Amino acid sequence: MLMTWSERLKAEGKQEGLRRVEQERKLGKQEGLRLGKQEGARSLQQVLLRQLTQRFGPLPESVHQKVEAISSLPRLTRLAEQVLTVSSLRELRLR
């Protein structure tokens, strides 16, 4: 069956539209994952700061800044676990 010129243009336009929708979906998913990781890091930073305050009392501003500068979820998780076993803030190695 032969397609007319307008039918072919419609089909090509539909395919291009589908490609664009799929590309936008992938970009949206990546952006959502990125934002989710950022939010997770912020939440874990807050938990870590609360744990540190409960364990060692009021924290110096420098500790707040160091914790808030850490964006790696695995690193924040390790630090939150270490709070349970360290005897001082210096042992945490927040650098």
Cα–Cα distance for residue pair 95/65, rounded to 1 Å: 10
- Write out pLDDT tens, residues 53-62: 999 999 999 9
Q: Count other Cβ atoms within 10 Å, centred on residue 89.
A: 17
- Write out pLDDT tens, residues 60-81: 999 999 999 999 999 999 999 9
Please state the length of the chain: 95
- Does pLDDT of 1 surpass 60? no
Tokens of 90: 């210096």
Cα–Cα distance for residue pair 95/7, rounded to 1 Å: 63
What's the pLDDT score for residue 4?
A: 86
